C-alpha cells in the first residue's frame, strides 16, 4: 500500500495537461491537489475556469479550477510531485524553486533533456540559466532509464518524436548491431496535436497538408543523437490526424550482423516492458493500433542484401509521447506498478498467446 501522492499539474489547459489530468484522476495512488495554467488566465480578477469547462469530457472527473502559475501558489498546495506540461522557458524558470522545496519535478518540456547547455540557444532559442541541473536530471524513458529513475528529483520526460526513435534504435546501437559509421535516417509523421493547443493557421485541420518541416534543423535531432548514441538525420512531417506518430527508420547493419540479431536484441531488451510490442514478422505498426494507449509498436525488416535495416514504430504522441510516459515514470519513481492508471498493457508473453 502507498500513501496517496499529492500531485499538481502546471499547464493543465493544454492537450498534454488535459491528458495528464485524465490519467491521474483515475490513479488510485494520486491525490490531484492543484491545476495551473498561465498567469494571463487569472488576469482581470475573474474566477478561474474549471478544467472541465475547457475540456467537457472531464466533467465530473476533474472539476478543479485552473489557477495562475507561480512557485508560491504551486508550493502552497504542498505537492509531493509536480508535472510541468509547460513551454521550455517556463519549465526552466519554475523547476529550481520546486526542487529546492523538496518536490519531485516531472518536466514534459525539453528544458532539462539535453546535457549540453550550449545546445539550448541554437535549438530552443534561450540561454539556459540553470545548467547545473542538466547533470542532475534523469532522462525519463522508463524502459531504458534503469534504477536512476527510482530516486530522481528531476525527471526530464522524453520528447514524442525521440521516444519513437530511441526505443527501437538504442538497444541496437548498444549491442553493436547497427553500423555507427553510417547515419540513422528517420522520417516521422505526426498529428497536429503535437503543435499544441495555441491558435495557428498552419495547425488548423483544413490547412494541414502532408509536408516536411524543420528539415535538417529540427530541435529533437540532438535529443535523438544524445540518447541513441548514433548520428541521426531526422525529417518530421505534419499530417492531417489529431494524434499519433509513425516513424520509419533506416540504418545499416554492422558487418556480420543480421535481422535475426536485431529482432532478438529488441525481444530481449523489452521482454518485461509492458508497453513495448515487437510485432511479428510481416506485420507493421499503425497509428490506429496505438491511439489513446501508452504502447509503442515496433517492426523491422531488411532489404534483399540483408544489410539495410528498416524499422517502423508507432506511438500516440499525447500518451506514450507525453502524458502517459510521464505517468509511467511517476509510477516507477514512487514505487507503483509501472502500468498503474495507464490502461492497456502487455501482460501475456507472445509465445504464451500463440
Distance (Å, rounded) from C-alpha 157 to C-alpha 245? 17
Q: How far apart are CA 19 and CA 294, in angstroms?
A: 12
Residues of the chain with CATH 3.30.360.10: 160-317
Mean pLDDT for 276-287 is 96
With CA atoms as reference, report the closest residue to 248 among 237, 260, 259, 239: 237
What would the DSSP string read from start to end of 105-152? Answer: EEE-SSTTT-S-TTHHHHHHSS--TTGGGGGT-EE--HHHHGGGGGG-
pLDDT single digits (tens) 216-250: 888 899 999 999 999 999 999 988 888 999 999 99
% pLDDT > 70, the chain: 90
332: cell is 516507477
- 20-39: average pLDDT: 93
Pairing of strands 308-315, 245-252: antiparallel
Active site residue 160: yes
Cα R_g (the chain), whole angstroms: 20
* CATH class (in words) of the domain with range 5-157+322-333: alpha beta
State how far the Cα of 141 lies from the Cα of 149, in Å rounded to an integer: 9
Given the C-alpha cell 509521447, which residue does it identify? 321
Residue 191 pLDDT grade (very low, low, confident, very high; cuts 50, 70, 90)? confident
pLDDT of residue 205: 67
Say which CATH architecture domain 160-317 belongs to. 2-Layer Sandwich (3.30)
Q: What is the pLDDT of residue 352?
A: 42
Report the predicted TM-score, pTM, of the whole model to 2 decimal places: 0.92
Q: What is the pLDDT of residues 127-155, one digit of tens each?
A: 999 999 999 999 999 999 989 999 999 99
Please, which pLDDT band fits residue 44 given cuts at 50, 70 and 90? very low
CB 26 within 8 A of CB 2: no
Residue 194: pLDDT band (50, 70, 90) is low
Which residues, 6 or more positions from 204, have their beta carbon under 8 angstroms from its beta carbon? none
Question: Rounded to whole angstroms, what are the CA distances from 82 to 5, 141, 208, 339?
Answer: 10, 18, 34, 19
Q: Which of 77, 157, 160, 296 is catalytic?
A: 160
Is the confidence at residue 41, as pLDDT, over 80?
no
> Residue 197 pLDDT more than 60?
no
- Distance, in Å, from the CA atom of 286 to the CA atom of 296, rounded to the nearest integer, reads 10
Instruction: Look at residue 353 and tell me whether its pLDDT is greater than 70.
Output: no
Q: Return mean pLDDT, the chain.
A: 91
- In 3D space, the residue among 49, 55, 58 whose CA is nearest the CA of residue 24 turns out to be 58
Residue ranges, CATH 3.40.50.720, the chain: 5-157+322-333
Distance separating alpha carbons of residues 153 and 136, to the nearest angstrom = 8
Amino acid at each position: 500500500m502507498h500513501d496517496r501522492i499529492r500531485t499538481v499539474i502546471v499547464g493543465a489547459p493544454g492537450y498534454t495537461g488535459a491528458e495528464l489530468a485524465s490519467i491521474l484522476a483515475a490513479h488510485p495512488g494520486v491525490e490531484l491537489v492543484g491545476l495551473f495554467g498561465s498567469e494571463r488566465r487569472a488576469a482581470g480578477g475573474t474566477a478561474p475556469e474549471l478544467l472541465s469547462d475547457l475540456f467537457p469530457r472531464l466533467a465530473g472527473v476533474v472539476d478543479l479550477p485552473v489557477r495562475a502559475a507561480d512557485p508560491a501558489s504551486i508550493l502552497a498546495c504542498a505537492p509531493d510531485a509536480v508535472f510541468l506540461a509547460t513551454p521550455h522557458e517556463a519549465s526552466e524558470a519554475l523547476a529550481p524553486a520546486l526542487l529546492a522545496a523538496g518536490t519531485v519535478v516531472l518536466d514534459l518540456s525539453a528544458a532539462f533533456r539535453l546535457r549540453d547547455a550550449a545546445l539550448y540557444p541554437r535549438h530552443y532559442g534561450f540561454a539556459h540559466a540553470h545548467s547545473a541541473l542538466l547533470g542532475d536530471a534523469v532522462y525519463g524513458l522508463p524502459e531504458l532509464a534503469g534504477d536512476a529513475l527510482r530516486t530522481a528529483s528531476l525527471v526530464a520526460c522524453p520528447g514524442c518524436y525521440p521516444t519513437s526513435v530511441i526505443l527501437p534504435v538504442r538497444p541496437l546501437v548498444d549491442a553493436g548491431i547497427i553500423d555507427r559509421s553510417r547515419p540513422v535516417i528517420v522520417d516521422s509523421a505526426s498529428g497536429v496535436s503535437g503543435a499544441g493547443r495555441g491558435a495557428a493557421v498552419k495547425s488548423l485541420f483544413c490547412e494541414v497538408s502532408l509536408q516536411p518541416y524543420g528539415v535538417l534543423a529540427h530541435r529533437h535531432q540532438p535529443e535523438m543523437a544524445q540518447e541513441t548514441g548514433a548520428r541521426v538525420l531526422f525529417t518530421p512531417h505534419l499530417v492531417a490526424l489529431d494524434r499519433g506518430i509513425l516513424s520509419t527508420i533506416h540504418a545499416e547493419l554492422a558487418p556480420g550482423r543480421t535481422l535475426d540479431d536485431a529482432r532478438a536484441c529488441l525481444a530481449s531488451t523489452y521482454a518485461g516492458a509492458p508497453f513495448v510490442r515487437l510485432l511479428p514478422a510481416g506485420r507493421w505498426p499503425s497509428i490506429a493500433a496505438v491511439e489513446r494507449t501508452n504502447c509503442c509498436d515496433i517492426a523491422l525488416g531488411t532489404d534483399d542484401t540483408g544489410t539495410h535495416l528498416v524499422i517502423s514504430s508507432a506511438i500516440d504522441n499525447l500518451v506514450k509521447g507525453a502524458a502517459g510516459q510521464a505517468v509511467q515514470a511517476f509510477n516507477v519513481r514512487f514505487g507503483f506498478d509501472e502500468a498503474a492508471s495507464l490502461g492497456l498493457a502487455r501482460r501475456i508473453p507472445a509465445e504464451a498467446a500463440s
